[in-house]
Structure 1
Amino acid sequence: MYRLVVNYHHPADPDAFMEHYRSVHAPLAKRMPDLAAYTYGVCESLDGSKPEYFLTAVLDWPTKEAALASLGSPQGQEGTGDLANFAQAGVAIVTYETETVI
């Protein structure tokens, strides 16, 4: 499985961010070809302090090649292009080949 993790920095207006994410961005992202799984959640910390990121999204594809093709597709480009519409605080993105432990 090949994974892409998007960590969104804290937006100036969290409510507007979430409204756009839920109603526009997530529906765009889930249309990407060969996407095997897509989850997201608002970040929390165990000690109650403000976490480094506001929201984290995790997207999985069967292979790295499938992920690259999907991200390069018209649907992938549309989703990537939408970041400018709501993620002005920036994002940190990492990718990796997953290894299952359990």
Structure 2
Amino acid sequence: MHALIVTYPKPAAAQAFKTYYRDTHIPLAIKLPGLLRYEYAYPDALGAEQPPFFCIWKGYFENEQAMQAALASAEGKALAEDVPNYSPSGAKLSHAEIGGGQP
């Protein structure tokens, strides 16, 4: 399995970000071809230091090729074009092969 990981910096208007993200951007994201599942979160600090990002999204694909195809698709392009509508500072994308299992 392969994950697309997207992180966002803290926005000026946190609640506006969350509302737009949930109501508009996520419905676009779930249209990505080959997306098996997704998750997103707004992490809190576990200690004194704040997390380096405001929001994190992970989308899971069968493999890296499926992820790359999704990003290159019309849906992927529409998704990327939507980012400035709620995150003027943009987003950082990374990806990783997923390992692990049940404890």
TM-score by length of 1: 0.92
Q: Is the 8 A contact 1:12 1:89 kept in 2?
A: no
CA distance in structure 2 between the aligned counterparts of 1:100 and 1:40, rounded to whole angstroms:
19
Q: Does 1:53 align with 2:53?
A: yes
For residues 76-95 of structure 1, the aligned pairs below 5 Å read 76-95=76-95
Q: Percent of aligned pairs with the same residue?
A: 29
CA distances 1:16-65 after superposition (whole Å, capped 9, x unpaired): 11111001000000111110111001111112543211110001100111
Residue 66 of structure 1 aligns with which residue? Answer: 66
The letter of the residue matching 1:79 is L
The 3-state SS of whatever aligns with 1:7 is strand
Report the Cα offset of residue 66 of structure 1: 0.7
Once structures 1 and 2 are overlaid, which stretch shifts more, 92-101 or 75-84? 92-101
Q: Does 1:24 align with 2:21?
A: no
> Which 4+ stretches in 1 moved above 3 angstroms?
none
CA distance in structure 2 between the aligned counterparts of 1:59 and 1:48, rounded to whole angstroms:
29
The letter of the residue matching 2:82 is D
Aligned residues: 102
Report the Cα offset of residue 9 of structure 1: 0.3
Report the Cα offset of residue 11 of structure 1: 0.2
Report the Cα offset of residue 78 of structure 1: 0.8
Residue 39 of structure 1 aligns with which residue? Answer: 39
Report the Cα offset of residue 90 of structure 1: 2.7
CA distances 1:47-90 after superposition (whole Å, capped 9, x unpaired): 25432111100011001111111111111111111011111123
User: What's the Cα RMSD here?
Assistant: 1.3
CA distance in structure 2 between the aligned counterparts of 1:54 and 1:36, rounded to whole angstroms:
24
Residue 13 of structure 1 aligns with which residue? Answer: 13
TM-score by length of 2: 0.91
Once structures 1 and 2 are overlaid, which stretch shifts more, 44-53 or 63-72? 44-53
